[in-house]
Structure 1
Amino acid sequence: MEVRDLEAFLAVMSTGSITGAARLLDRSQSQVTRLIQDLETSLGFALFERNGPRIAPTDKGIAFHEDAERFVSGIGHLRNRAKAIAGKEPEPIEIAATPAFASGIIPIALAELPEHLLPHTINLRSMPAEAAVQSVFARTADFCVTSLPADQPGLDVQGFFEGRCVAAVAPHDPLVAKDVISIADLAGRTLVTMSNPFRLRHSVDEVLNAAGVRPNRIIATNAANNAVQVASLGLGVAIIEPATAYGLQSAPIVIRPLDVEIPFLWAILSAGSRPLSAGVRELIQRIARIASERMPDLTVHDPKQMARIAERSFAGRNAGNGALPDNPAAK
């Protein structure tokens, strides 16, 4: 298995065709075809189904894609570091973060980083929490900023924080007139919430169930930025974490506190025993400071307590996903 074979595979996956991949890689179509065939022979399974000029990934090809992308990204990461070492330049900074942080607080922190600490290459990748943690384990990211839970063995906790979730509503929503939105105010309304039942969604559902509140309809999304956009159009009331609420906002919304506490645990994690460059260390400090300045009621926990506090917060989740019961009115 050669790196160039994997690059050809990723190019075909990205463009959807051998022709497009050939243009992207500045190779002939026959060369790209040969590289794909060599990779399939090495792997022992087909990556694509061919039907004349049409090509589509197989189920195994789709399953293989993420690992191949991570590996090639790691090779690029290694090349960039080697160039920096050879040229005595600041090492590249590789950041993995959930969308809430990648689109808000982290860019603000990067903008404040002193010029002498800014390397030639900075990679900021937005991804789900689970993938962000895996990027640190795979050492394709210097650190990640992610919501919890996260597997702690093999990770160094550079910062551990707890904020409170809030409500986001459109400027013309009647709830804007309230200084604090009650969880009871969501009865009969459309609720915009997260899809993943094992993170924020679980906490939201627990609070609603405890209060006996049934929204009329649920709009679930995999990114808080999407929830903000939906709420800004008056389609519902969004419950979002503070990183999105108080980071950069791309849609007109009004943020209001809730009368119940829905905790949002997040952390800055790096690989265990991995030295961090001066630029990375300074960036981490600025992320923590900006978060403290922007997020009301942010608690900075002792990193040594992360496992204990996270376990307490997420206790009982294995007993069920906490999903709201079906609401006949929403059907």
Structure 2
Amino acid sequence: MDLNQLEAFAAVMTIGSVTGAGRSLGRSQPAISKAIGDLEGELGYALFDRNGPRVTPTGKAFLLYEEVERSLVGLRSIRERAVEIGREEAQPVHLVATPALASTIAPAALQMVAQGGGEFPEHIHLRSASAEQVVHAVLHRTVSLGLTSLPVAHRGLELHWIGEAPCVAVLRADHPLAGKDKITRAALRGERVITMSNRYRLRQRIETALGDDKGDKPLDVAIDTNTSFNAIMAAHAGLGVALVEPITALGMPIEGLVVKKLAVDIPFYFGVVTPFGRPVEGITRALIDAVETSARNILHGFVKRDAAEHDELL
């Protein structure tokens, strides 16, 4: 398979028609059809069910698409960098972070570096992705810097430091619990709880901390979702109490909502990672320091921990 085939496949998956994909890529409809047909021939299975110019992706196409899109992002970065090298341009910053970090701490850190008076790149690529995708991008060296929730015990990553801050409850200002100083385990009984769906990260710590005293009754979660912002907006709609990491809650305040401490400490951990063995200097070093300062400014109870504490903490 080649780049033309993968780009044609990704365009058809995104747009939903061969004709539209051709327009987007500046190719003819027959050229797109041929590229898809050649790719299917190499793979040995169909990627689309065809009905004239409209196509419907098969189940296998959806499984393949995520990997193809990640690969195309890396190839585009290589292409852009090759052009920059030819023009003797400075390398842009490629920063990838989980949605919570990408929308709050990352922009604050970039602003701090920009106002610092030192060297600042003309081009910045800031992308949000799941924690697993952040790790993938750093491992494959397609980004300069990654900000992600923990754990990240992968070989090939350089974890510079760990940030810790307590999770919070977010609820409407007119909610009966809004006047409480802290939200207790008992107060959450009978409430519709909204929280994360990934049981391998924050969700597990929340359920363990807020189960009953014997630890054999899990928290009753009415709504689970994949981002804290979704959970917070569900709370804004009056659907329950959101239990989330503090970065989104404190970094993106929303009128009509209040952020409350939890009586039980549930630490949220995040880290700053770069490709292992790659020198960290210039703008990347400045950003790592600025991320720490931004986290201290945004997060109540922020604690910076040494990277060597990762396994003990998690």
What letter matches 2:162 in structure 1? F
Q: 2:94·2:143 contact (CA, 8 Å) conserved in 1?
A: yes
Post-superposition CA distance 1:186-206 (Å, at most 9, x none): 111110111111111111111
Displacement of 1:225? 0.3
1:247 aligns with 2:256: no
CA RMSD of the aligned region, Å?
2.0
Q: 2:18·2:54 contact (CA, 8 Å) conserved in 1?
A: no
**How far apart in 1 are the matches of 2:182 and 2:62?**
46
Of 165, 172, 175, 2:174 maps to 172
2:151 aligned residue: 149
Post-superposition CA distance 1:112-143 (Å, at most 9, x none): 22276332332222121111111111222222
2:95 aligned residue: 95
Post-superposition CA distance 1:165-198 (Å, at most 9, x none): 0111111112221122212111111101111111
2:303 aligned residue: 299
What letter matches 2:232 in structure 1? V
**How far apart in 2 are the matches of 1:147 and 1:40?**
37
1:187-202 counterparts in 2 under 5 A?
A: 187-202=189-204
Post-superposition CA distance 1:262-315 (Å, at most 9, x none): 1111111111012345222211211111102221111111112223322xxxxx
1:279 aligned residue: 283
Q: 1:189·1:215 contact (CA, 8 Å) conserved in 2?
A: no
**How far apart in 2 are the matches of 1:146 and 1:127?**
9
What letter matches 2:225 in structure 1? T
Q: 1:90·1:118 contact (CA, 8 Å) conserved in 2?
A: no
Post-superposition CA distance 1:41-73 (Å, at most 9, x none): 233332222234331122222211122111111
1:45-64 counterparts in 2 under 5 A?
A: 45-64=45-64
Query: Do the aligned partners of residues 215 and 272 (structure 1) sit closer, same or farther apart at CA in structure 2, a change above 3 Å counting?
Result: closer
Corresponding residue SS for 2:121: coil
Displacement of 1:106? 0.8
**How far apart in 1 are the matches of 2:222 and 2:50?**
41
1:10 aligned residue: 10
Post-superposition CA distance 1:180-237 (Å, at most 9, x none): 2212111111101111111111111112223478767611111000111111222211
What letter matches 2:292 in structure 1? A
Query: Do the aligned partners of residues 80 and 206 (structure 1) sit closer, same or farther apart at CA in structure 2, a change above 3 Å counting?
Result: same
1:265 aligns with 2:266: no
Superposition TM-score, scaled by structure 1 size? 0.88
Q: 1:157·1:303 contact (CA, 8 Å) conserved in 2?
A: yes
What letter matches 2:310 in structure 1? M
Query: Do the aligned partners of residues 264 and 216 (structure 1) sit closer, same or farther apart at CA in structure 2, a change above 3 Å counting?
Result: closer
**How far apart in 2 are the matches of 1:168 and 1:175?**
10
Corresponding residue SS for 1:300: strand
Of 193, 199, 208, 1:206 maps to 208
Q: 2:170·2:249 contact (CA, 8 Å) conserved in 1?
A: yes
Corresponding residue SS for 1:269: strand
Displacement of 1:251? 5.4
Q: Which moved more, 1:107-116 or 1:55-64?
A: 107-116
1:316 aligned residue: none
1:313 aligned residue: none
**How far apart in 2 are the matches of 1:72 and 1:4?**
11
**How far apart in 2 are the matches of 1:18 and 1:173?**
50
**How far apart in 2 are the matches of 1:250 and 1:34?**
50
**How far apart in 2 are the matches of 1:180 and 1:299?**
20
What letter matches 1:159 in structure 2? W
Corresponding residue SS for 2:38: helix
Q: How many pairs align?
A: 310
Of 153, 162, 165, 1:163 maps to 165
1:108 aligned residue: 108
Q: Which moved more, 1:47-56 or 1:178-187?
A: 47-56
Query: Do the aligned partners of residues 250 and 40 (structure 1) sit closer, same or farther apart at CA in structure 2, a change above 3 Å counting?
Result: farther
Q: 1:90·1:117 contact (CA, 8 Å) conserved in 2?
A: no
Query: Do the aligned partners of residues 139 and 51 (structure 1) sit closer, same or farther apart at CA in structure 2, a change above 3 Å counting?
Result: same
1:319 aligned residue: none
Displacement of 1:250? 4.6
1:322 aligned residue: none
Q: 1:132·1:144 contact (CA, 8 Å) conserved in 2?
A: yes
Q: 1:175·1:181 contact (CA, 8 Å) conserved in 2?
A: yes
1:327 aligned residue: none
**How far apart in 1 are the matches of 2:35 and 2:236?**
48
